[in-house]
Structure 1
């Protein structure tokens, strides 16, 4: 590649100073999952910066650039993605349980963050129940604890009780006893 035709030292400094001072980088690229309560909402920063200043954009993992949905989802001028609090009846998988990424762009180029899975946890009452089973007297009956799917990832069965008396600890199963 031939050198540009530079006629003065000032032009040479101008060309090289632009090359030396342009940068684009991630400040913290370790964020991979954001789990938040539907009652609080969340703020997710795009962890990029650069010189000259960068333009930050958010996308769904499919590559579709996201847009503001008033009162539901907003991208702030500083690149922070905000998901607003919402009632359980307004849950939408495309917004509240999806994978996003951000990009940063300036004259130096364009960089893409790692995927960030954003998941809302619905704050609503739930009931855990035991599934009915039938067994002949003297045989083994296996009972299953039924946990609503909206909370099962966050619930662990730690014991079984009959008439408020603890029967078996989960630790016994973990140890193979």
Structure 2
């Protein structure tokens, strides 16, 4: 006996249940950009969208492969996998947070996918951003 589920389409297309739950290694739907430059007054959100089955766990690491940890008020990860660098005062600049290289990883039971290096750089005004 085959099980079918109705997908949310206008015509109610039938899709085999096995096709909906088929195991799949992590893959990027939206890989983060290679370079993110932003002003300290605006902050930045660096997206990383990874899909797979079972759903992958998205984490961020340093260039050296060390897991990222939240730095209260300066860096955190959202449940959707995005890395958030909120606006900050110039005197709160931390080189290892605001001028650093990160990588996004997506992991499930079938494997791990890693992004290219993501270079982030914050400046006080446009003229202070390195090119």
Same fold (TM over 0.5): yes
Describe the superposition over 1:44-86 as per-residue Cα deviations: whole angstroms up to 9, x where unpaired: 1113211221100000101110101111111111111100111
SS of the aligned residue for 1:21 comes to: coil
Distance change >3 Å, CA 123–CA 151, structure 1 → 2: closer
Deviation string 1:132-164 (CA, Å, 9 cap, x unpaired) is xxxxxxxxxxxxxxxxxx72747xxxxxxxxxx
Question: Is 1:29 matched with 2:31?
Answer: yes
| TM alignment of 1:146-157, pairs within 5 A | 151=128, 153=130
Which residue does 1:59 correspond to in 2?
Answer: 61
Q: Which runs of 5+ in 2 are unaligned?
A: 3-17
TM-score by length of 1: 0.58
Say which structure is richer in helix. Answer: 1
Q: Structure 2 vs 1, CA of residues 86 and 66 (structure 1 numbering), >3 Å: closer, same or farther?
A: same
| TM-score normalised per structure 2 | 0.76
Bigger RCO of structures 1 and 2 (CA < 8 A, at least 6 apart): 2
Q: Are positions 1:98 and 2:100 aligned together?
A: yes
Asked if 1 retains the 8 angstrom alpha-carbon contact of 2:32 and 2:104, the reply is no
**CA distance in 1: counterparts of 2:129 and 2:125, whole angstroms:** 13
Greater mean alpha carbon deviation, residues 43-52 or residues 66-75: 43-52
Query: Which structure features the higher share of strand residues?
Result: 2
**How many residues are matched?**
114
Task: Tell whether the 8 Å contact from 2:31 to 2:47 is kept in structure 1 after alignment.
Answer: no
Where does the alignment leave 5 or more consecutive residues of structure 1 unmatched?
1-8, 11-16, 125-149, 155-177
Contact 2:106 2:113 in 1 (8 A): yes
Distance in 2 separating the partners of 1:107 and 1:153: 40
CA RMSD of aligned residues (A): 2.5
